[in-house]
Amino acid sequence: MTVDTIAPSRPRIKLKPKANARALRHGFPWVYANELVTDRRTRKLTAGTLAVLEDGAMNTLGLVAVNPDSKIIARILDKDPEAVIDQAWFTTRFERALALRSQLYDAPFYRLVHAETDGLPGVVVDRFGDACVVQPNAAWAEAYLEPLTAALTEVTGCRVVLKNASGRARGLEGLDEVSKPLLGEAPTAPVPVQMNKATYMADLTGGQKTGLFFDQRENHAFAARLVHSGAEVLDVFSHVGGFGLAMLAAGASSATCVDGSAAALDLATQGARASGFDDRLSIRQGDAFEVLTALGEEQAQFDVVICDPPAFAPSKPALEAGLRAYERVARLAAGLVKPGGYLGLCSCSHAADLTKFRNASARGIGRGGRRGQLIHTGYAGADHPQMPQLAESGYLKAVFFRLD
């Protein structure tokens, strides 16, 4: 366990004269490597070290966690440069985060901590009843896992805490990919999660991310409003059946889930069985683009088609290629929608803002020979709050069209 030290023992780091200190004072949580004076002393700091940040005039800006090997070289933890990062500090933040989620949801299944927006930079915590899955995606969080875990169990009463070390973000911080239990034993079976009148099965150890995408909950609910009794629906990039199961619960007569992962489709099948409508679910494993093309050649038609792909544009260099991929998805999917039916398209790429994604989707629909009314724009649920100063926190977009 890393032991915190108190200023003035902490090292002090300084912004370059032309760095935007005003943005930091107004809430922006990151300092990029090209904004900081990186002398020999700073470069030798261990990843996760706490330091006091100063502007070019040596005015104190707050307490930061430093990682000299990361593009985000410093993350602001506290405006108080003398704050002690211990169990009590984490407890305060977890209590504030829990107060919001407890007001929003009747059952303890949600994102409990959404990184910077909940005052814990780089930290994600998803809650599954008595179990919490932690993604410490920043070096400082990895260094302080012990007090973090103690505070988390104190506040939530969870008996199991798992560390999930998957994902691109940890690699950018120079962190390992070793997932393990931090408290208790990992569940050996998927955890059932009730959402939108369906049961989803979350694999907390072998599934994608933390096991379930809570961020799409509200968009699942909107898609469920689009179905009628007898509706046939298609859920592409379905993972564990997120949209498909919600629409079946709303009365759709059939749902076809498409995904490249056999394990994810097996969980979708288990969820349908637990929900009592496994006889109305069909699965199709394969590359989504190939399946969409094949369905078009089969002249298949659906009342509602939803496509929720992975991040095609995870960074600015990937933006143009990602937008072309989103456009292609829209073009292939549009042809599968019955006249008067609905098409929902999603993006979790923070590099592609809403305008760019919406325009790519509209181009794809047009090139698919269809015209569409944009009827709804969705975002991540309220357990994924956005930080107005940080565009990356508003990564999820969903656009729903009615096609003629």
Which CATH class name applies to 191-403? alpha beta
Q: Tell me the HSE value of 247 on the side-chain side, using a 13 A CA sphere.
A: 32
Which CATH class name applies to 87-183? alpha beta
If pLDDT is split at 50, 70 and 90, which confidence band does 209 have?
A: confident
Q: Sort strands 109-114 and 72-78 into parallel, antiparallel or unpaired.
A: unpaired
Long-range contacts of 252-256, Cβ-Cβ distance < 8 Å, separation of 24 or more: 252/227, 252/280, 252/303, 252/304, 253/229, 253/280, 254/280, 254/281, 254/282, 255/280, 255/281, 255/282, 256/232, 256/281, 256/282, 256/283, 256/284, 256/302
Distance (Å, whole) CA 130 – CA 202: 13
Per the annotation, the verdict on 348 as an active-site residue is yes
What's residue 4's pLDDT? 58
What's residue 1's pLDDT? 46
What's residue 248's pLDDT? 98
Q: In Å, how far are 133, 157, 185 from 162, measured between CA atoms?
A: 5, 14, 8
Those residues with Cβ within 8 angstroms of residue 256's Cβ, 6 or more apart along the chain or in another chain: 232, 233, 234, 235, 244, 281, 282, 283, 284, 302
9 or 147, which is more confident = 147
Q: Give the three-state DSSP class for 309.
A: coil
Which residue in 399, 404, 396 sits closest to 366, CA to CA? 404
**Does position 389 have pLDDT exceeding 90, yes or no?**
yes
Lowest mean pLDDT among 140-144, 327-331, 387-391: 387-391
Strand ranges (E), 297-336: 302-307
Q: What CATH homologous superfamily does 12-78 map to?
A: PUA domain (2.30.130.10)
What's residue 313's pLDDT? 92
pLDDT digits (tens, 9 = 90+) for 66-95: 999 999 999 999 999 999 999 999 999 999
Catalytic residue among 158, 257, 346, 348: 348
Sign of CA dihedral 314, 317, 318, 323: positive
Residue 106 burial (C-beta neighbours within 10 Å; 0-12, 13-18, 19+): exposed
What's residue 206's pLDDT? 85
Where in the chain is CATH 3.30.750.80? 87-183
Where in the chain is CATH 3.40.50.150? 191-403
Q: Give the three-state DSSP class for 391.
A: helix
Q: How many CB atoms lie within 10 A of CB 229?
A: 8
Which residue in 402, 351, 353 sits closest to 373, CA to CA? 402
Where in the chain is CATH 2.30.130.10? 12-78
Q: If you ran DSSP here, which 8-state letter would residue 81 be given? A: T
pLDDT digits (tens, 9 = 90+) for 32-45: 999 999 999 999 99
